[in-house]
Amino acid sequence: MYKWPLMYNCRRVLNKKDRLQKEVKEMDMNDWLEDSNNENKELKLVAIEMLGLTGDVNVIEPLAGHLRTGDEEVRASAAEALGMLNDPRAAAFLAGALEDCCPDVRKCAACALGKIKDPGSAPALEKALKDPDFNVRWRAAEALTSMGIKTFK
């Protein structure tokens, strides 16, 4: 199956999340899992995003595997996708991503943890409040606030 037209259309309607989630759930997830390991970076990024939009918690492990890749854009995309799943089982992986060498990955991980709202990730987010990057600190504070934690250590 030639996926470039599909990839283009997915990107075009990505901001229409509700409609796209319904369409993504009707697609074969095995194709997205396979494409998430494709050598073509653009296809890989779209596939990772689509896996997040499925809402299927069975993709937590494969997405978490992308947090350990060499490409920072792929790692950031995986963090965002894990946040889209909104499942506490992804929180431990995302808490680990707060230690990533790339500030964008750390920022995406903090945002994702804010969506998941798992209280167990609060210590990692509190540590991220001391991150050298302002955006990481900001997102960590937002995540803690979304969990109802307003007094930071």
Question: 41-62 pLDDT, tens per residue?
Answer: 999 999 999 999 888 999 999 9
Mean pLDDT for 2-22 is 57
pTM, full prediction = 0.83
Q: State pLDDT tens for residues 62-94.
A: 999 999 998 999 999 999 999 999 999 999 999
Q: In the structure, how many helices (H) and strands (E) does the chain have?
A: 10, 0
Instruction: Parse the chain into domains and list their residue ranges.
Output: 4-146
Of all residues in the chain, what percent carry a pLDDT higher than 90?
A: 73
| Region 4-146: CATH code | 1.25.10.10
**Which pLDDT value is given to residue 31?**
86
